[in-house]
A and B are shown apart, each in its own frame.
Chain A
């Protein structure tokens, strides 16, 4: 089970770019890296997923170095509505080995 390490909390001002880094030193060859966002009183919501290099969608970018032992979620120009807990997970296509959420990073966006 590839566990992850993230900062417990981060603060950012509105309009800034936020980068949240996750360490996953024991990532396996067939593991993907997935990030989720969770607002209070809601279930987590999928943000982005990648295997290597860079992935970008309409919400965020995910940077994965060649050794894949860490990854960075980048949120461009955050707004107050981005205040949430962000979880990094690593795991394969099937099976339960991608389902360890950890405690996540609590991002607070300040006006």
Chain B
């Protein structure tokens, strides 16, 4: 079974620039999450999708972050404009519906904002 795919793996941008991350979840997984993990901290949930609908985006900084999951499969997370404090690893995870807690994570995208 193929795992969660993310791209790019690394990205370096300057502040005020825009960036987008892509995630392809495990086939058949209805639930998709985006997390932000700052160095030395645990992952912080940004947004949760169920199919192509948003379940929770309460911790997503909506003035600069946006996410979509068209057709309930792939998802993109965008930051516009980026700030220095956005430097982090952005993790995507997916889960089958109805199963408590077993999320499958991708390798993440490491973003550096200069």
Contact = CB atoms under 8 A, between A and B. Distances in A.
Contacts, number: 68
Interface of A: 32, 34, 41-46, 49, 85, 87, 89, 91-96, 98-104
Interface of B: 4, 31, 33, 35, 40-45, 48, 50, 55-56, 58, 91, 93, 97-108
Contact of B100 (A32, A42, A87): A32
Most chain B C-beta atoms within 10 Å of own C-beta, residue among A43, A45, A91, A100: A43
Given A43-B105, A101-B43, A93 B98 contact: yes
20 contacts: A34-B100, A44-B43, A46-B103, A49-B100, A87-B42, A89-B101, A92-B100, A93-B99, A94-B31, A94-B97, A94-B98, A95-B56, A96-B45, A96-B55, A96-B56, A96-B58, A99-B33, A99-B45, A100-B45, A101-B44
